[in-house]
Amino acid sequence: MKLSKIACALVAAITLGLAACGGDGGENDAASAPPAGSTPGEGMGGATLADFRTSLNLQELMAHVIDYNAFEVWHRQGWIIGDDVVELFPTDDDGWIAAENAARTVAEASNLLLLPGRPLDDDRAWVDFAHQLHDAAMLAGDMAEKKDKDAFFNAGTDMYRACRGCHQRYIANVDGPPAADPMKPLEGRQAPPPPNQ
Ligand code: HEC
């Protein structure tokens, strides 16, 4: 086959390929219809509230997403004070990036607490705790980006307060004995050592 014929065949193949998979409005590329009875929210593209797929229940979301990523933050901050003071903070760029990634994940995941079916009541307190977690986690992310150890540590404590606050209000018996709270203690995380240590 001459070169020009090969080129021609290639063009034809590509054109055919485009026609087959291009956006020609055929039935194969039709977009899904919104779930019956729901209308797209403002700024949500074509998505409606009924489109969120909240496969995890709240307990699973906590364990696999929120708690997991919060500990990716907390394990990277604080001091263990014994005979020597051991710092838990990242010591290189990769470590700080990992800390920031985890904090940003918690911040975004706080929105998942507000998806349909997740809030335990219609009280704004639930929303406020989710926002408190968001803001603390964003601050932790910002401070990890700046590698500001003290501010990163304090933001981590604020995250912990948001978790505890919500648990105290929404989990039965949490204001009873401490054992009822599902949160693991923040092991090894202690207040900053005095400056001369
Ligand atoms: C807006 C409220 C709210 C916030 C904020 C919140 N939680 Fe929870 N969490 C709950 C509720 C409610 C449960 C109980 C869920 C259940 O058992 O059905 C729970 C359960 C848990 C559990 C137990 C999961 C299990 O396997 O039983 C852990 C762990 C947890 N949360 C960690 C955290 C951490 C860590 C944070 C903060 C970084 C946090 N939570 C923030 C409401 C919240």
Cα 87 to middle of ligand 1, angstroms: 28
Residue 156 near residue 162 (C-beta atoms within 8 A): no
Containing domain of residue 104, as a range? 56-180
How far, CA to CA in Å, does 194 sit from each of 81, 85, 114, 179? 11, 11, 40, 31
70 found inside a domain = yes
* Residue of 56, 57, 62 best suited for mutating to test ligand 1, as the one with most atoms within 8 Å of CB: 62
- For residue 16, pLDDT over 50 is answered with no
How far, CA to CA in Å, does 54 sit from each of 64, 85, 109? 13, 43, 12
126 found inside a domain = yes
CATH value at residue 137: 1.20.120.10
pTM of the model: 0.81
Q: What is the CA radius of gyration of the chain?
A: 25
Ligand 1 pocket, Cβ-based, cut-off 6 angstroms = 58-59, 62-63, 66-67, 70, 106, 113, 120, 126, 129-130, 133, 159, 162-163, 166-167, 170-171, 182-183
pLDDT of residue 85: 87
129 found inside a domain = yes
Residue 27 vs residue 139, higher pLDDT? 139
